[in-house]
A and B are shown apart, each in its own frame.
Chain A
Amino acid sequence: MSVTGIGAAVRRKEDRRFITGKGHYTDDINRPGQTFACFIRSPHAHAKIKNIDVSAASRLPGVAGIFTGAQFAEDKLGSLICGWTVLSKDGSPMKMAPHPALAAGKANCVGDAVAVVLAETLAQAKDAAERVVVDYEPLPAVVDPAKAAAAGAPLIHDVAPNNTIYNWHLGDAEATNAALKNARHVTTLEFINNRLVPNAMEPRAALAEYDAASGSLTLWNATQNPHVARLVISAFVGVAPENKLRVIAPDVGGGFGSKIFIYPEEVVCLWAARKLGRPVKWTAERSESFITDAHGRDHVTKAQMAFDGDGRITALKVHTTANLGAYMSTFSSAVPTFLYATLLSGQYEIPHIYCEVDAVYTNTVPVDAYRGAGRPEATFVVERLVEVGARELGVDPATLRQKNFVKTFPYQTSVASLYDAGDYQASLQKALELHDYKGFARRKRDSERNGKLRGIGFATYIEACGVAPSALVGQLGAGVGLWESAEVRVNPTGSVEVLTGCHQHGQGHETTFAQLVADRLGLSIDQVNILHGDTDIVQFGMGTYGSRSGAVGMSAIVRALDKVEAKAKKIAAHLLEAAEGDIVFKDGKFTVAGTDKSAAWGEVALGAYVAHKFPTSEIEPGLKESAFYDPTNFTFPAGCHICEVEIDPETGDTQVVGWTAVDDFGTVINPMIVEGQVHGGVAQGVGQALLEHTVYDDKGQLVTGSYMDYAMPRADNLPSLQVDTTVTKCPTNPLGIKGCGEAGAIAAPAAVMNAITNALGTELIDMPATPATVWATLQKTHTLPRAA
């Protein structure tokens, strides 16, 4: 391993610009003559829009234009779409309601944009927005997914009777029911997987510019997948043809999934920029982010796990109601189905699994993929049930897990996934040792002496990254393929540009991708530039989400590098006057096997471009290759997280006092970045379990619409994390990478809740386990001194 090669903890190249304030985000970009957009948003969760009077507002200083949903409709533009078709049990397609970028006729959630004001300054736009008079007729709203499909609930979209989008299922109902009936023991749990607000540090932003001369539009946009944005905006919304639309995603400050989706605001900015003939800029304010960024999770679940007399899991049955909010966001349909039910086997051999998912509309912000997307929800179901099962059976939770682990690979689960490789026992064992599991009883006694309750909880999770192959996802209803592209462009001096269809918004690709290329070509990482995020510069690509950039994106780079190396060898053979088959490339040098004749990488690169020494009829000049890589299977990262908590029974305050994570991510490119990903993921998962509470009132008002009420995890909510890895390589991609970006957020909620319920001695508590909730639970269960 070289000092910057694969496996080296190289410092991130991009951090210098970020930590010195030199990052270049959408809001940092200004175009001559730009106007500022202020959206007028429904204050009601559900209301008829009877009239919009813009006359007073239009006369205010600086106002360049005011457009309403009715005008958007007149221009016959298309609707935003959900790009993954899910079929109901009866074969009928999901009920996708129109989602115009500006609502006309009816607003369906608080924050639904009904009009936009464009003005010379943002303050003028806001002043005018206050003077736009919208005449609403409020309608009854439904916010609770458990009530959305009930008789008498207000209907949100005509296309979806009972507010039901689909009733989907996976697995064998009959066999699962039979196994439940014959079980020695059945563990049953009901829980809510709490709705989360994503909270990327950089709010969403868009800047659109129309060039009348060429008739083309440019969109700078805080997005995780610029090409997909361009495709949806051109092909479905129809603001501009694909070749007349350039999407640039400059530095993007965090996404966690929320910037995958195509939102109304960027569409409106493009549409308005053309109408006005002037650039239009919009940057969300934090309060807007709370009510417009797609939220995450929001499941109501009942699940049963069956065990035989030997402690083996014989079946799992799950029913989930998934709240998708007021509209179907870009990938919303897939999250509680294909990204959820397919992972319900966890790390275990479970012969029979049956899962039903009812997706419903409610008058709330749309819900879509958020770090982990379906997999944290699945892990929560499986890992809570296994832990509680162990408690009910009186077996050590680690032992019960070990007994049921999948031990031979490949393993075909009963929910379609084919696990390729893993060693679940190894990660569990290592975690038990690192955590000093044996010492828990002693630590618990020490806590008791101090009047505290201590608990320990596990999550031996599995996840799937790099969702693919494309043909399979196509069969499952995806509107896109999930391959990735790369182009490796060698310059005449030997330095390299890599164009990737992935997009970085916190992952560190500029470093890790450069490590891969530098290692392969014998260069320093400073000689390798990673270009991404501009549809005019980079070939089509699928963007970054679902921990796919390592497993899929880097594999595409490897394929392109293979081609570069093959061609470079041909050229080297001519330069060295040797047979191509005798050329060996190593450490940045081409040598003729068995001789001391060699040519440096740079000489061959230059040779390729001057093209003096090879027949250009056989070998084209230049050195630039591209590849589109389509994986043959998902990858399956897995691991074991152990959480230890201490609870103050007098106040209900819960502190995470110990955390051990042993993950199997396959090949690790940069251990420091991987560790950072685990830290961030665990923090988000702890946030979900202890702090983050998205509360709507009955009328559909978001009660937790700011940081005064929505609690984000902070450094002091976490202990020092012990993070380690075990490695089984992924057999289906060239580097053996599995992916690491979401693991922490997937494992953590279950681990925390297992620890808390262990400490409390009751399972009857939902996330987030805030101090008030924990205290109230203790009062109910009478296990402790009651309120003094």
Chain B
Amino acid sequence: MYAFTFHRPQTLRQAANLLTKNDEAKLLAGGHTLLPTMKLRLAGPPQIVDLSLVEGLAGIEQSGRSITIGAMTRHNDVSNSPVVQQAIPALAKLAGMIGDPAVRHMGTIGGSIANNDPNADYPAACLGLGAIIITNKRRIKADDFFTGMFSTALEPAEIITKVSFPIPKKAAYQKFRNQASRFALVGVFVSKRGSEIRVAVTGAGANGVFRVPSFEEALKKRFSPKSLEGMSIPADGMNSDIHGSAEYRAHLVGVLARRAVAEAIGK
């Protein structure tokens, strides 16, 4: 690790000011992505702005037809929340599938989304549920938020404060783990809310999380795994590495989408 100055602001405004004043400053949430890269000396931010003392960034609330989760809410709290388990069980289950207990007790939803790792789980839930990402400046639709691998619509000095998830009628997440990292080699989140169907894929795409319009169209006719029978997506644009070829990943998207729909309708 390189030396850095450590700031612990108490308010969001202080945190934002620190970021504005120091272009190279980095926010610290659970630290489970940032700290390993710093330890490996792959990142060396001169200023760290720790969010852990900022009031009001953690917590889960249900209001009407959505659930709002504070940016600093740990994966473990989402996975064990009775509110989430009741309203969007697929989201609670997804949070419980992230990493291991140590990771889930530190890692946060805000950190995960801001980082937008192409193999992370939460981006699939955000896109698959049509979430709204709320920052200290604005509200951003998930469809506009994830702009490519490790990149988001966040501007400098913009801080995620909450994520709001509309409650779907049906939803499920299927994750096929990379055996080494246990991140998603491919993960598919499906949901149905009224006439809105979403199929979001993480892990597979060379540009990070994406939706599959052809699957969504097919599922609009009937929300059943049968609707996706024989369907797959092209291998172009898929990741290819020692853990799986582009063809394999494209194939898994089809398999996992069918399984997710089956799970969502309770089959």
On A, residues with C-beta under 8 Å from B are 123, 126-127, 130, 287, 650-653, 690-691, 693, 695, 703-704, 707-712, 770-772, 775-776, 787-788
- Most chain A Cβ neighbours within 10 Å, of B41, B229, B251, B254: B251
Return 30 A-B CB contacts under 8 Å, by A number.
A123-B1, A126-B41, A130-B41, A287-B40, A652-B248, A691-B179, A691-B180, A695-B242, A704-B180, A704-B242, A707-B180, A707-B181, A708-B180, A708-B181, A709-B181, A709-B243, A770-B243, A771-B179, A771-B244, A772-B243, A772-B244, A772-B245, A772-B248, A775-B248, A787-B247, A788-B229, A788-B230, A788-B231, A788-B232, A788-B255
- CB B202 to nearest CB in A, in angstroms, measures 16
CB closest chain-B residue, reference A691: B179
- Lowest 4 A-B CB distances belong to which pairs? A711-B180, A711-B179, A772-B244, A787-B251
Decide if A651 touches B242 in the complex (CB within 8 Å): no
**A707: which B residues are within 8 A, CB to CB?**
180-181
Closest chain A residue to B1, Cβ basis: A123
In the bound assembly, the distance between CA atoms of A123 and B2 in angstroms comes to 8
**Contact: B251 with A775, CB < 8 Å?**
yes
B3 within 8 A of A: yes
Smallest CB separation, B1 vs chain A (Å): 7
A-B contact count (CB 8 A): 57
Q: Does A651 lie within 8 Å of B252, measured CB to CB?
A: yes
Nearest opposing residue in chain B for A126, CB measure:
B41
Interchain CA distance A609-B229 in the complex, whole Å? 86
Cβ–Cβ contact B242 & A703, under 8 A: yes
Chain B residues lying within 8 Å of A771, measured Cβ to Cβ, are 176, 179, 185, 244
Question: From B258, which residue of chain A is reached at the shortest CB distance?
Answer: A788
Bound CA span A708–B181, Å: 4
Interface residues on B, range: 20 to 34
Residues of B within 8 A of A653 (CB): 176
Within the assembled complex, what's the spacing in Å between the Cα atoms of A772 and B181? 15
Contact string against A for B residues 13-30, beta-carbon threshold 8 Å, 1 for contact and 0 otherwise: 000000000000000000
Besides the contacts A708-B180, A711-B179, A788-B255, what 6 more A-B pairs have beta carbons closer than 8 Å? A123-B1, A123-B3, A650-B255, A690-B179, A771-B176, A787-B254
User: Which residues from chain A contact B245 at a C-beta distance below 8 Å?
Assistant: 772, 776
B residues lining the A interface (CB < 8 Å): 1-3, 40-41, 176, 179-181, 185, 229-232, 242-245, 247-248, 251-252, 254-255
Residues of B within 8 A of A693 (CB): 242
Q: Are B180 and A710 touching (Cβ within 8 A)?
A: yes
Q: How far is the CA of A710 from the CA of B252 in the complex (A)?
A: 21
- Chain B residues near A123 (CB-CB < 8 A): 1, 3
Q: How far is the CA of A711 from the CA of B3 in the complex (A)?
A: 32
Contact partners of B232 in chain A: CB under 8 A: 787-788
Whether B248 and A776, one on each chain, are in contact in the complex, defined by CB atoms closer than 8 angstroms, is yes
Instruction: Give the complex CA separation of A217 and B162 in angstroms.
Output: 59
Shortest Cβ gap from B59 to chain A (Å):
31
Within the complex, what minimum Cβ distance (angstroms) separates B150 from chain A? 14
On chain B, the residues within 8 Å of A691 by CB distance are 179-180
State in angstroms the CA–CA spacing of A704 and B180 once bound together. 10
Shortest A267–chain B CB gap in Å is 26
Q: Which residues of A contact B41 (CB under 8 A)?
A: 126, 130
Cα–Cα, bound, A287→B244 (Å): 23
The CA-CA distance from A787 to B242 in the complex, in Å, is 19
Q: Chain B residues near A776 (CB, 8 Å)?
A: 245, 248
Name the residue of chain B whose CB is nearest to the CB of A650: B255
Q: How long is the Cα–Cα vector from A130 to B181 in the complex, in angstroms?
A: 28
Q: How far is the CA of A233 from the CA of B166 in the complex (A)?
A: 67
B231–A709 contact, CB under 8 A? no
Residues from chain B with a CB closer than 8 A to the CB of A652 are 248
Complex alpha-carbon distance, A380 and B79, angstroms: 43
| Residue in chain A with minimal CB distance to B243 | A772
**Which A residues are CB-close (under 8 A) to B230?**
788
- A707–B254 alpha-carbon span in the complex (Å): 28
Please name all residues of chain B whose beta carbon is closer than 8 Å to the beta carbon of A695 when the two chains form the complex: 242
CB distance from B121 to the nearest CB of A (A): 16
User: Which residues on B sit within 8 Å (CB–CB) of A287?
Assistant: 40
Residue numbers in B under 8 Å from A127 (CB-CB): 2
Q: Which residue of B lies closest to A130 (CB)?
A: B41
Query: Which residue of the partner chain A has the closest CB to B251?
Result: A787
Q: State the CA gap A564–B77 with chains docked (Å).
A: 62
Closest to B179 in A: A711
Tell me the complex Cα distance, A554–B231, Å. Answer: 64
Give chain A residues whose Cβ lies under 8 Å from the Cβ of B1: 123
Query: Given the complex, which residues of A lie within 8 Å of B255, measured CB to CB?
Result: 650-651, 788
Interface centre among A691, A704, A775 (most CB of B within 10 A): A775
Report yes or no: A651 in contact with B176, Cβ–Cβ below 8 A.
yes
Nearest B residue (CB) for A787: B251
Residues of B within 8 A of A772 (CB): 243-245, 248
Query: Closest approach, in angstroms, between the C-beta of B156 and any C-beta of chain A?
Result: 28
Alpha-carbon distance between A123 and B1 when the two chains are bound, in angstroms: 7
